[in-house]
Amino acid sequence: MRVDGSLRVPGDKSISHRALMLGALGQGASRVRGVLQSLDVHSTAGVLRTLGAEVPALSGDMVVTGRGRVGLRAPTADLDCGNSGTTTRLMAGVVAGSPLAARFIGDASLSRRPMGRVARPLSQMGARFSFEERGDGLPMTVQGGALQGLTWRMEAASAQVKSAILLAGLVADVPVEVHESSPTRDHTERMLIGRGVDVRVDDGVVTLVPSSRLDAADQMVPADPSSATFFAVLAAIADTGALSLDDVCINPTRSGAFNVLRRMGASVRYEDRRVDGGEELARVVAAPGTLRGVEIEAHEVPSLVDELPVLACAAACAVGETRVTGASELRVKESDRIKAIVENLRAVGAHAEELPDGFVVSGDGRRPFAGRVATHGDHRIAMAFGILGAIPGSQVIVDDRDCAAVSFPTFWEELARVVR
């Protein structure tokens, strides 16, 4: 297989959600350039509108007009979060800090995901959570307002939970302190600091000091490293050529997959490194290598948690064993990704087995692959196996290609464009 060309994958999903939320909560007009126009981000925009915020239709250059941290109104409809865990958990923090009640709903996949992880700290601050089904899934009603400050030791590494607590503290104007045992993506902290909020980060402790301030700000949204990784893997497993991925966010809390690909033997270079919108960006140039199996352990998982499906597909093209541990969080993503990765690798003819907290892929460099992939509606499973399916001679049938639109609506077109 030969790959060739350059592409700018769409805007970062995590930063896009946060840019809309902080724009709506800020004072005045915030410009957002390069927002990701995908289903998940539409969910955040819709939820903010249901709460009375002025969020126009998503476009590459848009303005969100905020009415301040206390400007949201009690909703007259449910907050439909679609497939988006980030929308649900971060907005649970925003609603918890506001004097209003809201009912959160979502699709079947989202409704199965655990919300107790945000309900526990936010309840301790004084918000009230109620769940209609047994367990801690959606629908969930949050009654917010009159919160007190919180010091919280994270139960598991989660940027969503950390962000929910920070947003609750911000909106309710109370101090919060979050202790992380391993660092997770820090976009919320960076963006709050960029908007004049007193947030301090020191040795795994994130502190928000109430300052009654959230400035409007211009946000440039860099290209999403999670989306870029699909194409970095495509280049890594190709026979010749290279792919140039423009404007990718290389924040160290997000770029673990690029390090793993280098360790596997691929060539992944950063060119034209620069800082924009509070984040470090680069052109990521990825090219083939003779891939070998690697170990990925718990400490590295938060920096590549969303990239594990496609790294597992890279591992199927490598020689030797790839062992991933400390990744039990994958069980509660858009699907049980440990199960989905292993079952689908086997379905297309690769060797893989489940571990309670990860998986093992035994590669013999063999290709192509053939079989039917069950995505369970999970966008990252669909795209990961789409990459294996691009190998000439592969016959990989992905049961639901459309779910890529959750994070990367143009994925299949871009894939067809760069494979020669």
- Please give the backbone phi and psi of residue 260, each rounded to the nearest 5 degrees, phi first: -65, -40
Compute the least distance from the CB of residue 355 to ligand S3P, in Å.
19
Amino acid at 194: G
Instruction: Map tokens 């597909």 to a residue.
Output: 313
- Which entry of 107, 186, 306, 378 is annotated as an active-site residue? 306
- Cβ neighbors of 419 (< 8 A, separation 6 or more) are 1, 2, 3, 234, 390
Compute the least distance from the CB of residue 163 to ligand S3P, in Å.
6
Cβ 41 vs Cβ 16: under 8 Å: yes
Considering the complex, state which of residue 48 and residue 348 has its C-beta at the smaller distance from ligand S3P.
48
Q: Strands, DSSP E only, in 181-266? A: 198-202, 205-209, 219-220, 240-249
Considering the complex, state which of residue 50 and residue 158 has its C-beta at the smaller distance from ligand S3P.
158
Considering the complex, state which of residue 80 and residue 334 has its C-beta at the smaller distance from ligand S3P.
334
- Residues in contact with ligand S3P by CB under 6 A are 14, 86, 158-160, 163, 185, 305-306, 329
Closest among 241, 213, 273 to 418, alpha carbons compared: 241
Considering the complex, state which of residue 280 and residue 329 has its C-beta at the smaller distance from ligand S3P.
329
Considering the complex, state which of residue 81 and residue 390 has its C-beta at the smaller distance from ligand S3P.
81
CA-CA-CA-CA dihedral for 204, 87, 85, 250, to nearest 10: -50
364 is annotated as an active-site residue: no
Contacts 24+ apart (CB under 8 A), 130-137: 137/111, 137/112, 137/113
The CA-based diameter of the chain, rounded to the nearest angstrom, is 61
CA–CA gap between residue 65 and residue 31 (Å, rounded): 9
Q: End-to-end alpha-carbon separation of the chain, Å?
A: 7
Instruction: Map tokens 């969100």 to a residue.
Output: 64
Alpha helices in 196-288 (DSSP H): 225-237, 256-264
- Which letter, b or e, does each residue of 168-190 get, where b requires 16 or more Cβ atoms within 10 Å of its Cβ? bbbbbbbebbbebebbbbbbbbb
Considering the complex, state which of residue 225 and residue 288 has its C-beta at the smaller distance from ligand S3P.
225
Active-site positions read 306
